[in-house]
Amino acid sequence: MPRLIVVGSGIAGLFAAISAYRRGVRDIVLVTKAALEDGATRYAQGGIAAAVGVEDSWELHAADTMSAGVELCDREAVGVLTREAAPRVADLIDLGVRFDREYGRPACAREAAHGVARVLHAGGDATGRHIEEALAGTVRALGVEVRDATFVDNLIVEGGACRGVRLLAGDELEADTVVLAAGGAGQLYASTTNPSVATGDGVALALRAGAIVADIEFFQFHPTAFAGPVGWHFLVSEAVRGHGAVLRNHGGEAFMAQYDPRAELAPRDVVARGIVREMVRHGLANVWLDATGFPHGEFARRFPTIDAHCRRQGCDPERALIPVSPAAHYMMGGVWTDVWGRTSIPGLYACGETAATGVHGANRLASNSLLEGLVFGSRVAEAVAGASGVGVVRHPEPEPLTLGRDSRAVPAARASIRARMWQDVGILRDGEGLKRARGTLARWAAAPPGDEVEARETANLALVGWAMAEAAWRRQESRGAHHRLDFPTPREAWRRRQFFVLPSYEPPATVFCGAGSGRQVES
């Protein structure tokens, strides 16, 4: 029986597996539904935030993270994230990631809502690909068992603890510990920067097993995706605006200063809403990003991947404006964990975009996503290996999510889910739309899924989408990425996180958790 199963092969899952191996855990199975390198990490352009500059500090990074999260970040988790950023970046360098350098030092770029330049890139705008390749290569070199093209259908929970996973093929894999690192759920939306594999599988697995989820109403929309055909939109990195590109409307007007004095460098939720309002105001399908003021050759040098994509679409960024519009980008909520990645179910851990560690609050600070996977992937490994200093888990008190069984429920087409989410649980929300969405998605989520991978993915999307709509309907305010037209301002009564559980599982009062760590866990 393997000691550790890791579900997912992005930065969080790969680094958790590598870190666990380095801490002496040898019986590891890494399960991924696609190829080992085929996840969202490889498409990350914006880089990884870390206080490595001489004028920076982890305290400044923490302050920027807290500010972007609009008073909902977990202060302890943010401290962990920012203090451990530089050592984890050093780990990546040791594993072969070559970050860009200028004048003999790491090249630090500035992005929206960062007070200083602290974002590291590799290969210009190909940071995620460089990290993914280095980590995947290390996993193979270590001899970690990899099961690719393998879909996890359910978690095995026995005696109040997670004991393994059940595969769609019918096999069961038992383990002392399971780590969910299955990425996000961008495919919930009609327009997204996420690849097709981002179907919320990790959160859906945890929900069905009775784990607590948190912050599920907060989904970040990236302001600037290349406005091509509906579907998976190509990301135009935050760093382009950080380097001086300007958003313009159809009349050539730089409009963002009308919505926020920070203009293009405002937090992502502010910029995304500003763009949507400008589109509605003028009846536009998109706005435009102007990088024509860059010195000759600068755009292609700094952003080679974006430059190549734009040119394939017939747009020369040196001479023409880039058509952009917002797209679903990052799930800030997910499976609740403590700062060691432990969930409310003993033996079950989560990290990366699947997890809700509390570091993002209501609005993720740009380039903290790769960092979160790195830092908490390492911490999960430390906890699993039984390192000292890992104390008790203190669960929040969750509210119940009631998903009734409706005989009228019919399986939903994925396009229907994506259209409903985009219309009613998107950038701008209201009570009527959320009520409609939660009813429709509840029926779809209650429908029995088919036996194929795509059908199970669609069922996962319906379940996660319903939970998001329910949480958004309950939160009667606007805060960060959650903006309600009927409650347009933050409310003091809602300066709190929401925790939910499907009441199908009752944890014992006290159990032992982990691979022989002897750490006590309290409910």
Q: In this predicted model, what pLDDT tens digit does every residue of 436-470 receive, in sequence order?
A: 999 999 999 988 888 899 999 999 999 999 999 99
Q: Is 8 helix (H, G, I), strand (E, B) or coil?
A: coil
305 is a domain residue:
yes
Q: Number of structural domains, the chain?
A: 1
Q: Does 409 fall in a domain?
A: no
Residues 258 and 331: their CA atoms lie apart, in Å, by 28
Half-sphere exposure at residue 224, Cβ-oriented, CA atoms within 13 angstroms: 32
pLDDT band at 50 (very low <50, low <70, confident <90, very high): very high
Helix, strand and coil percent figures for the chain, each rounded to 5: 35, 20, 45
pLDDT of residue 515: 31
- Sort residue 74 into left (φ over 0), alpha (ψ -120 to 50) or beta: beta
Joined tokens for residue 122: 């590799």
Length of the chain, please?
523
Q: Is the pLDDT of residue 232 over 70?
A: no
Q: At what angle do helices 369-384 and 85-94 cross, to 10 degrees?
A: 90
pLDDT for 483 equals: 97
pLDDT score, position 504? 63
Q: Specify the DSSP class assigned to residue 464.
A: H
Using H for helix, E for strand and C for coil, what is the string for 293-321? CCCCCHHHHHCHHHHHHHHHCCCCCCCCC
Q: Are 41 and 10 in contact (CB under 8 A)?
A: yes
Structure tokens at 202: 């990790």
229 falls in which pLDDT band (50, 70, 90)?
low
Measured distance CA(246)–CA(269) in Å, rounded: 17
pLDDT at 389: 65
Residue 80 within any structural domain of the chain: no
Q: Which residues share a beta bridge with 322?
A: 289
* Lowest-confidence segment of 93-97, 142-146, 262-266, 465-469 by average pLDDT: 262-266
Put simply, whether the predicted model's pTM sits higher than 0.85 gets the answer yes
Rounded average pLDDT over 28-36: 97
How much is the average pLDDT of 271-283? 95
514: confidence class by pLDDT, cuts 50, 70, 90: very low
The verdict on residue 102 lying in a domain is no
Q: Is 519 a catalytic residue?
A: no
Q: What is the mean pLDDT of residues 236-255?
A: 93
Contacts of 114 (CB under 8 A, 6+ apart): 49, 64, 242, 365, 366, 367
Give the separation between CA 119 and CA 110, rounded to whole angstroms.
Answer: 6
Domain containing residue 288: 221-328
227 found inside a domain: yes
What span, in angstroms and rounded, lies between the C-alpha atoms of 200 and 142? Answer: 29
Q: What is the pLDDT of residue 407?
A: 64
Q: Over the chain, what is the mean pLDDT?
A: 92
Torsion of CA 312, 313, 317, 320, to 10 degrees: 140
On whether residue 505 sits in a domain, the answer given is: no
Helical packing angle, 369-384 and 127-142, nearest 10°: 20
Over 80: is that where the pLDDT of 145 sits?
yes
User: Lowest-pLDDT range, 41-50, 56-65, 502-511?
Assistant: 502-511
In a domain, 209, yes or no: no
Give the CATH number, domain containing residue 264: 3.90.700.10
User: What does the pLDDT read at residue 510?
Assistant: 32
Which of these is catalytic: 129, 268, 364, 420?
Answer: 268
Give the span between the Cα atoms of 514 and 349, in whole angstroms. 9
**65, 368 contact by CB (below 8 A):** yes
Strand 152-158 relative to strand 287-290, pairing: unpaired
Q: 307-357: per-residue pLDDT in tens?
A: 999 999 999 999 999 999 999 999 999 999 999 999 999 999 999 999 999
Task: Note the pLDDT tens digit of each residue in 484-494.
Answer: 999 999 999 99
64: nearest Cα among 267, 223, 200: 267
The arrangement of strands across the sheet holding 145-147 comes to 145-147, 28-31, 4-7, 177-180, 348-350
2 has a pLDDT exceeding 80 = no
Does 165 have pLDDT greater than 60?
A: yes
Has residue 291 got a pLDDT over 70? yes
Asked whether residue 485 is assigned to any structural domain, the reply reads: no
